[in-house]
């Protein structure tokens, strides 16, 4: 991983940290978006892309989770990324 790419991942994670505990990152059309609770959700595009997200996962800054949503038209499952919890020693 190139040095400038390695710097982008922690910056992206910083945006997620500042957004609050119930928010996560998703990929929509190759752009990373910040998803926070709302009716039904509030999606905010970021200046980061899918490669930045993958780098953050490789650096163990983020972890993948799955979210299930039920709607009138049916239910669906979506992957999203949250800050990796640090293990307590």
> Quick one: what percent of the chain has pLDDT higher than 70?
87
Give strand pairing partners of 49: 31
pLDDT over threshold 70, residue 88? no
Mean pLDDT score, 13-20: 93
pLDDT over threshold 60, residue 17? yes
- Token readout for 69 is 């949503």
CA distance 11 to 7: 7
Give the pLDDT score at 19.
92
Please give the model's pTM, rounded to 2 decimal places. 0.80
């Amino acid at each position: 991983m190139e040095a400038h790419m390695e710097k982008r991942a922690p910056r992206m994670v910083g945006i997620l940290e500042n957004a609050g505990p119930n928010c996560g990152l998703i990929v929509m059309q190759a752009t990373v978006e910040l998803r926070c609770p709302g009716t039904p959700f509030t999606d905010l595009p970021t200046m980061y892309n899918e490669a930045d997200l993958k780098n953050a996962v490789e650096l163990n800054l983020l972890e993948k989770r799955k979210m299930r949503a039920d709607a009138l038209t049916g239910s669906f499952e979506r992957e999203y990324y949250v800050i990796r919890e640090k293990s307590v020693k």
